[in-house]
Amino acid sequence: MGKSMKLGKVVIVLAGRYAGQKAVIAKNVDGGTICCPYIQAIVAGIYRYCKRSKIFVQVFNYNFIPTRYLLLWKNLTSTRASSGVLRQLC
């Protein structure tokens, strides 16, 4: 399942606080990290759309984010999401 999760894929979160929310994969980590040995992805999305928008950036296991659609952005890169961000989110 790791090859289907690419940068810019639109996902729907299935578990946790943000269940049912749409998000976009900002960075995928196929090897895992020391604190979280499973394959995972950093996703970013909008939690609330009303008066004050709330944005979320969260690490999710691939099993909890099914996907089908891809965003075609020219300048979409994952250079801003580094391993330091993963340590903060875990």
- CATH annotation of 2-89: 2.30.30.770
Average predicted confidence (pLDDT) for the chain:
75
Q: What is the pLDDT of residue 89?
A: 55
Structure tokens at 51: 């008066």
36-74 pLDDT, tens digit per residue, is 777 888 888 888 777 788 888 888 888 788 777 766 666
Q: How crowded is residue 11: how many other Cβ atoms within 10 Å of its Cβ?
A: 22
Q: Would you kindly state where each structural domain of the chain is located, as residue ranges?
A: 2-89
- Exposure string over 65-77, b if 16+ CB within 10 A, otherwise e: bebeeeeeeeeee
